Chains A and B, each alone.
Chain A
Amino acid sequence: GQQVMQIPQYQHVQEGEDFTTYCNSSTTLSNIQWYKQRPGGHPVFLIQLVKSGEVKKQKRLTFQFGEAKKNSSLHITATQTTDVGTYFCAGTNSGYALNFGKGTSLLVTP
């Protein structure tokens, strides 16, 4: 079945440093979604990418969808302590079920 792999599993950065998490699928995805889960919280939708090569920005966050629609990345510029949490990618191919990656846990120290 479809698998969505995410790396790294953990990332610890100093406030102000950049951060990137990568998502890779074994199959072509029809779309990819990104979610953020704060410690003790629940996943909250951030963004969806649908088109090959698509790039979207939300303030300091930049999301990319690969040309082959098999990979995606989330880049945070100049991290802040409010960025702490686990970032999940989730993709679908032919079905309707979202397949979530294991997530990347980001820790930001001041």
Chain B
Amino acid sequence: ETGVTQTPRHLVMGMTNKKSLKCEQHLGHNAMYWYKQSAKKPLELMFVYSLEERVENNSVPSRFSPECPNSSHLFLHLHTLQPEDSALYLCASSPSQGPTDTQYFGPGTRLTVL
């Protein structure tokens, strides 16, 4: 148990659906992250939030929309996704956004887009 939970753990959706991924951290951290992990690709950083403010958006398509209502919760809203968006989506948190801070990952949401 890393103190970072994600729901749902598995999600299958059609290209016209709208769904949301949820991440919650119980570690008192101030920074939260969304990563995409596809087969044969490195972990791709999608978004970084620090103290509920988005500090990085790595050229992610607008069909992915993050939301950070407070420092403990992070959402990823999905709409009109493509089959190539199928991947493991990992949430992580760290004490701050400093480069030497350890990141604690959640178990991930396995997303399949049909």
A residues within 8 Å of B by Cβ? 4, 30-31, 33, 35, 41-45, 48, 50, 88, 90, 92, 95-103
Contact = CB atoms under 8 A, between A and B. Distances in A.
A42 B108 contact: yes
Interface in B66-113: 90, 97-100, 102-108
Given A102-B41, A102-B42, 12 more contacts: A31-B99, A33-B102, A41-B107, A42-B106, A48-B102, A95-B99, A96-B97, A97-B45, A97-B58, A99-B45, A100-B45, A102-B40
B56 A45 contact: no
A30 B99 CA distance: 8
Nearest to A46: B102
Contacts, number: 55
Contacts of A92: 99-100
Given A43-B90, A88-B43, A96 B105 contact: no
B99 A100 contact: no
18 contacts: A4-B42, A31-B99, A31-B100, A33-B102, A33-B103, A42-B108, A43-B43, A43-B90, A44-B2, A44-B105, A88-B42, A88-B43, A92-B99, A95-B99, A97-B48, A98-B45, A99-B45, A103-B42
A90 B102 CA distance: 11
Nearest to A30: B99
Contacts of B97: 96
A49 B104 CA distance: 17
Contacts of A101: 42
Contacts of B55: 96
A96 B48 contact: yes
A4 B58 CA distance: 17
Interface centre among A4, A44, A45 (most CB of B within 10 A): A45
